[in-house]
Amino acid sequence: MVWINALVQGVLLGGLYALFAAGLSLMFGVMRFVNIAHGDFIVVAAYLMLTFVVTWGLNPIIGVALVVILLGIAGYANQRFVLNRVLGKDILPPILVTFGMSIIIQNALLEVFSADSQKLQTGWLDTSSISFGHNVAIGVLPLMMFIAAVAAIGLLQLVFYRTSLGRLLRATSDDPEIVPLMGGNNAHIFAIATMLASLVVAVAGIFLAMKTNFDPTAGPARLLFAFEAVIIGGLGNIWGTLLGGIILGVAQTIGAQIDAGYQILAGHLAFLIVLIVRPTGLFPKMKG
């Protein structure tokens, strides 16, 4: 039963990693570049939630809404007015720019919030669980994270394959040069894609604040987990991202069950095994 419990907890943890990774997968699928500052934006969302609820004393629901709105606006503006200027056939400029963003964000957060780790206290959510026997229990907060991940990925899938915006996003992904012929604007479409990714980033940051301690330098680790989940699931495959997060989470919880020091290492080993066996990931990019 102990191993079953570890497996269940790993699946639920995978939901959080899927939230970390979904936005990264979306941006890569549409624009073919990895945002190095992705993890730092997750941490920014976490600090915003902490500020709104703890410092400003706002209702948590209002705090969630503000974080999502602000991250969505910031994502659109960042892509439209900064990143679009460096996008092109050469993948190096956007990587360098987003690396610079990562450094700036981390130092800004250090100045404003100090290096002390923080956590958003959630009261009863921290300890509430649903019991399925003596040794198996599902925490309410991890369950909420997993449901949120499934919902977010499902909504992205719906937008991509059931809406006119999704058709433009997929066309941009396949051949950006023909989009203007369809009446689209590449700069606007790229910004919309980043805005959608940023909405998921906001949700991921909110749950990060609720789940564990974080500090201004926590972004790169979140980026690493997101990147591993994306690679495991398959580049550009949104549902594959969920499976990648689950595999990563299960590997970590099983590793922690063997020895606490093996938790992070086990996740990296699972990533390495998948990369060796299937370098393109478990699932190819889905076609429209």
Q: Which CATH number does the domain housing residue 16 bear?
A: 1.10.3470
Region 13-20: mean pLDDT is 95
Q: Which pLDDT score, from 0 to 100, does residue 284 have?
A: 66
Please give the structure tokens belonging to residue 47: 């600090």
Report yes or no on 198 lying in a domain. Answer: yes
Domain count, the chain: 1
Q: Looking at the predicted structure, is the pLDDT value of residue 177 above 90?
A: no
Report yes or no on 219 lying in a domain. Answer: yes
**Checking DSSP bridges between strand 129-131 and strand 137-139, what pairing results, if any?**
antiparallel
Please give the structure tokens belonging to residue 49: 């939630």
Report yes or no on 81 lying in a domain. Answer: yes
Report yes or no on 98 lying in a domain. Answer: yes
Contacts of 121 (CB under 8 A, 6+ apart): none
Q: Which pLDDT score, from 0 to 100, does residue 288 have?
A: 45
Q: How far apart are CA 250 and CA 267, in angstroms?
A: 8
| Number of Cβ within a 10 Å radius of residue 262 | 16
Report yes or no on 215 lying in a domain. Answer: yes
Please give the structure tokens belonging to residue 68: 């999502």
Report yes or no on 136 lying in a domain. Answer: yes
Instruction: Let me know: does 236 contact 44? Beta carbons within 8 Å.
Output: no
DSSP-based three-state secondary structure for 163: coil
Kindly give the interhelix angle for 219-233 and 38-50, rounded to the nearest 10 degrees. 120
- The highest-confidence range among 174-188, 190-204, 274-288, by mean pLDDT, is 190-204
Report yes or no on 185 lying in a domain. Answer: yes
97: nearest Cα among 146, 34, 45:
34
Please give the structure tokens belonging to residue 133: 């026997």
The 10s digit of each residue's pLDDT in 45-101 is: 999 999 999 999 999 999 999 999 999 999 999 999 999 999 877 888 999 999 999
Give the domain extent around 64: 2-277
Report yes or no on 49 lying in a domain. Answer: yes
On whether the pTM is more than 0.85, the answer is yes
